[in-house]
C-alpha cells in the first residue's frame, strides 16, 4: 500500500524559533501534497496545496510567510512554521495524491504534533 | 462552495451492534466523490470507504457500507458488528470535480461499549 511518512512525529520548540516538518511519499510519486492543521477534537483544516516544482496555493486566512511550504521533489514536501508562537501548537497532517495508484484516494501521513512553549 | 455536515458530535453503540453515522453534503459540482475516514486517538487518518457520485450501487468495504442517497444529498456510514477497536473519530469528506481538495465535516466521535 501507499505509505506517507512525516518527521518528526512530535516536536517541542520555544516561542520565536522555526520548526520544519517533512512529509515523504515512500513508495510512490506524489503529484500533489496537502497540509492540514487540526486542533483537539476538531476537524482537519486545509492550509495549503502544493504541486512539485511550483509555489503552494494557500487557503484563505493562512499566512504564507508564517507557514512556508516547499515541494522540492515528487516525494518530499516540507512545512516550516516560522517564528512559532504558542497559538501555533497543533497537530499538522500532510497527505498526498498520485496518479500511479488509486485515482481518488488521498494518502495521509501519521501527523506531527507541535507544541510551542 | 462545498460543504459537509455531520450533526452527531458523539455516538455510543453496544459492541456487536450496527451503527449509522450521518453525513449530508452540499455541492453544485455534477461530479464528486464522498469519503469516510477513521481517526483513532493516535491521530492517523485511516481511509474507510469511497462513493463516487455516479456510482449506481452503494459502496461496501468489509463491515463498512455507505448509504448513498443522492437526491437527499446524504452519505451515511454504516458500521456493522461494532468492535471496541471502532472507537474513534469519524470524518465524512467530499472532493468536487474541479480541484483535488478534500472538504471535511466536523466529525463524529464514536464510542463502542462492551
Model confidence at A101, pLDDT cuts 50, 70, 90, reads low
Does the beta-carbon distance from B45 to A108 stay under 8 Å? yes
A14 to chain B, closest Cα gap in Å: 23
Mean pLDDT of chain A, nearest integer: 92
Q: State the CB neighbour count (10 A cutoff) for residue B50.
A: 18
Nearest to B106 among A43, A104, A111 (CB): A43
Best residue in A102, A108, A110, A114 to probe B by mutation, most B CBs within 10 Å? Answer: A108
Mark out chain A residues that contact chain B at CB-CB < 8 A: 32, 34, 38, 41-44, 46, 49, 91, 93, 95, 97, 104-108, 110-111, 113
DSSP type of residue A29:
-
**Using CA atoms, how far apart are residues A10 and A13, in angstroms rounded to an integer?**
10
Q: What is the pLDDT along chain B (114 residues), one digit of tens a residue?
A: 889 999 999 999 999 999 999 999 999 888 899 999 999 999 999 999 999 999 989 999 999 999 999 999 999 999 999 999 999 999 999 998 766 789 999 999 999 999
Are B104 and B4 in contact by the 8 Å Cβ rule? The answer is: yes
- Grid coordinates standing for B5? 455536515
Helix (H, G, I), strand (E, B) or coil at A33: strand
**Using CA atoms, how far apart are residues A99 and A97, in angstroms rounded to an integer?**
7
Amino acid at each position: 500500500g501507499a505509505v506517507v511518512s512525516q518527521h518528526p512525529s512530535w516536536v517541542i520548540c520555544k516561542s520565536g524559533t522555526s520548526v520544519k516538518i517533512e512529509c515523504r511519499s515512500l513508495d510512490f510519486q506524489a503529484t500533489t501534497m496537502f497540509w492540514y492543521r487540526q486542533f483537539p477534537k476538531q476537524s482537519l483544516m486545509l492550509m495549503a496545496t502544493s504541486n512539485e516544482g511550483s509555489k503552494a496555493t494557500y487557503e484563505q486566512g493562512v499566512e504564507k510567510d508564517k507557514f512556508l511550504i516547499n515541494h522540492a521533489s515528487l516525494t518530499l514536501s516540507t512545512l516550516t512554521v516560522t517564528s512559532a508562537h504558542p497559538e501555533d501548537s497543533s497537530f499538522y497532517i500532510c497527505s498526498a495524491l498520485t496518479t500511479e495508484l488509486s485515482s481518488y484516494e488521498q494518502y495521509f501521513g501519521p501527523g506531527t504534533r507541535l507544541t510551542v512553549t | 462552495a462545498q460543504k459537509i455536515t455531520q450533526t452527531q458530535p458523539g455516538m455510543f453503540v453496544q459492541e456487536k451492534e450496527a451503527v449509522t453515522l450521518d453525513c449530508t453534503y452540499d455541492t453544485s459540482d455534477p461530479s464528486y466523490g464522498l469519503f469516510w475516514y477513521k481517526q483513532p486517538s493516535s491521530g492517523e487518518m485511516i481511509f474507510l470507504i469511497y462513493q463516487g457520485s455516479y456510482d449506481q450501487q452503494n459502496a461496501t468495504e468489509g463491515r463498512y457500507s455507505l448509504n448513498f442517497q443522492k437526491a437527499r444529498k446524504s452519505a451515511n456510514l454504516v458500521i456493522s458488528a461494532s468492535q471496541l477497536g471502532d472507537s474513534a473519530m469519524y470524518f465524512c469528506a467530499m472532493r468536487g470535480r474541479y480541484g483535488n481538495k478534500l472538504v471535511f465535516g466536523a466529525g463524529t466521535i464514536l464510542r463502542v461499549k462492551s
